[in-house]
Amino acid sequence: MKQRSFYHLITPAAMAAVDRDAARSGIDSLGLMQKAGQAVSAAALRLFPDAMRMAVLCGPGNNGGDGYIAAEALRMSGVDVQVFHLGDPALLKSDASSAFLAYRGKLRPLAEYVPCSGDLVIDALFGAGLGRSLEPPVVEIIEAINAASVPVVAVDLPSGLDGLTGHPRPVAFQACHTVTFMARKPGHVLMPGRALCGSVEVFGIGIPHRILDAHRGEVAVNTPSVWEGSLPKLTGSAYKFTRGHLTVFSGPMSATGAARLSAMAGLKAGAGLVTLAAPAEALAVNSAQTTAVMVKEVDDLSTLRDYLQDTRMSAFVLGPGFGVGEKARAFALALRDRKLVLDADGISSFKDKSQDLFAYFAKNVPTQLVMTPHEGEFARLFPEIAKDQTLGKVQKAQAAAKCSNAIVVYKGADTVIASPDGAALINENAPPWLATAGSGDVLAGIIGGLLAQGMPAFEAAAAGVYMHGEAALRVGEGLTAEDLAAAVRPLQIETAF
């Protein structure tokens, strides 16, 4: 059975609505808090059986409530527990107040906590209800605990981490383990939140899935379950043209390697034919270094138009090593009714001219344009969105996809794939060694290869990002882009021979 709740992400605001609906449907909310707190206590005992003292830091809301339940459960297990509270516990409301009243152990104000060797900190200051940036006294305490390197188990989210954006506000605990409830939030998956959480445990506290489903938004983790139904299927009657023809545009003689990496990756991703469309000066160098990939002269807009007469040309990659400028812009606009991956120089060519690009591709429904910017390229194409500090990476990618009518693959350790209709996926299978020269060229080629085989653009982009991560994991540390391209494999092939 698929663990659906693990792959769908629930924003903190949606989680609050889930809580409200659970209470309205008659579910005992204190019972939910008790299960949450007990799960935290179980995790602390399992992971840190030898802790000399467990310091439970309890905040002013329900996250603090979970902390009081955990503290009492630990105390009952014989652990030396000390609660350090933020704010006046007499002001706690409803379930959190009940949890506080049920706690029978030692209690001191948060400011009195001094981290000691042998401590385990259980962080129950703030969770999904963090509504604004932390104030200086709490910032200082978090910084002091992080600096002391005592282990921290976080309740729901490391305090200070924004569950929507994955950003610290302005600091957050560095946890070694985080226990969250029912479903992960985007902040558990986006960077740097993912790193601040340590390992993440999703504990079911008994909220029915029908309530979670009702509040499930547009953001999920990029897993095969989202797009595996759209993967190209290889049947016994397949021949090379039915598997699609990908064209990758080569740069000038001095910059052809990037396009060759894309081309090889497209072929490995399953495209039946791949052609490097190169200017005359780069024909020889490309021909000398390719075997299965074909080479064809495409010099200018006029030869491109002739080339496009062949309607079997099913998808295109423009950008890797291509060169920034008017030629890239003219080529991209000429491809407006084709399936196109616009990457690297193809993106940078539209700096300060992005409205032309967006206007040309505005009418395609569904969109056939995939753009693959890293952070710097994203800022060139979407300067206003990039500098909006109120938006997290997912919201930025969603806004960019909407205004460009393109699938936006906003790259990084936490690549976000966003569609103009608002759907967004966060990728989490990319190992750190994927950050190497030429890695993006390989990704563009994989996505192009999937588009060529008929996958819809959003699914092709998401599957491509996932296959890219899988290929990197297969190669391991020390990977070069050549190794990566060679390690690309189709994910699912139906062998109906």
Interface with K ion by CB under 5 A: which residues?
A: 123, 127, 154-155, 159
The answer to whether 163 is a known ligand-binding residue is: no
* CB neighbour burial string for 210-245, b if at least 16 within 10 angstroms, e if fewer: ebbeebbbebbbbbbebbeebbbebeeebeeeebbb
In the complex, the smallest distance separating the C-beta of residue 217 from K ion, rounded to whole angstroms, is 22
Pick the piece of the chain touching ligand LZDS7PUF (CB under 6 A) from 31-39, 339-347, 402-410, 474-482: 31-39
Return the amino acid letter for 448.
G
Among 5, 9, 14, 36, binds ligand LZDS7PUF (CB under 6 A): 36
In the complex, the smallest distance separating the C-beta of residue 358 from ligand LZDS7PUF, rounded to whole angstroms, is 38
Residue with tokens 């034919």: 273
The answer to whether 104 is a known ligand-binding residue is: no
Chain positions 175 to 194 lying near ligand LZDS7PUF, rule: CB under 6 A, are 181-182
Nearest to 296 by CA among 305, 287, 288, 310: 287
Pick the piece of the chain touching ligand LZDS7PUF (CB under 6 A) from 101-109, 130-138, 396-404, 459-467: 130-138
User: Which residues have C-beta within 8 Å of that of residue 197, sequence separation ≥ 6?
Assistant: 154, 157, 158, 161, 175, 178, 188
In the complex, the smallest distance separating the C-beta of residue 87 from ligand LZDS7PUF, rounded to whole angstroms, is 7
Among 72, 119, 156, 441, binds ligand LZDS7PUF (CB under 6 A): 156
Chain positions 55 to 74 lying near ligand LZDS7PUF, rule: CB under 6 A, are 59-66
159 binds, among K ion, ligand LZDS7PUF, none (CB under 5 to 8 A by kind): K ion
Q: Could you tell me how many helices (H) and strands (E) the chain has, helices first?
A: 22, 17
Helix then strand then coil, % of the chain, to nearest 5? 45, 15, 40
* CB neighbour burial string for 49-66, b if at least 16 within 10 angstroms, e if fewer: eebeebbbbbbbbbbbbb
The answer to whether 130 is a known ligand-binding residue is: yes
The answer to whether 354 is a known ligand-binding residue is: no
| Position 335 contacts ligand LZDS7PUF (CB under 6 A) | no
Q: Between β-strands 53-58 and 81-85, what pairing exists: parallel, antiparallel or unpaired?
A: parallel
| Position 132 contacts ligand LZDS7PUF (CB under 6 A) | yes
User: What Cα–Cα distance (Å) separates residue 463 from each residue in 16, 113, 409, 415, 486?
Assistant: 32, 48, 11, 12, 17
123 binds, among K ion, ligand LZDS7PUF, none (CB under 5 to 8 A by kind): K ion
| Position 392 contacts ligand LZDS7PUF (CB under 6 A) | no
Residue 476, burial from CB neighbour count under 10 angstroms (0-12, 13-18, 19+): exposed
In the complex, the smallest distance separating the C-beta of residue 389 from ligand LZDS7PUF, rounded to whole angstroms, is 16
Q: Quote the strand ranges of 98-209, DSSP E.
A: 106-109, 119-124, 152-155, 177-181, 199-203
| Position 166 contacts ligand LZDS7PUF (CB under 6 A) | no
Contact call for residues 157 and 123 (beta carbons, < 8 A): no
Pick the piece of the chain touching ligand LZDS7PUF (CB under 6 A) from 125-133, 227-235, 395-403, 482-490: 125-133
Helix (H) or strand (E) holding 264: helix 257-268
210 binds, among ligand LZDS7PUF, K ion, none (CB under 5 to 8 A by kind): none
The answer to whether 156 is a known ligand-binding residue is: yes
User: What Cα–Cα distance (Å) separates residue 200 from each residue in 25, 41, 151, 179?
Assistant: 28, 15, 15, 6
Cα 266 → chain centroid: 23
What region does 294 belong to: left with phi over 0, alpha with psi -120 to 50, or beta? beta
The structure tokens listed for 440 are 């993006």
| Position 455 contacts ligand LZDS7PUF (CB under 6 A) | no
Pick the piece of the chain touching ligand LZDS7PUF (CB under 6 A) from 54-62, 295-303, 372-380, 383-391: 54-62
Chain positions 187 to 226 lying near ligand LZDS7PUF, rule: CB under 6 A, are 207
Which residue lies nearer to ligand LZDS7PUF by CB, 32 or 418?
32
The answer to whether 415 is a known ligand-binding residue is: yes
**Interacting residues with ligand LZDS7PUF (CB under 6 A):** 15-16, 18-19, 32-33, 36, 59-66, 126-135, 155-156, 181-182, 207
Annotation: binding site for K(+)? 63, 123, 159
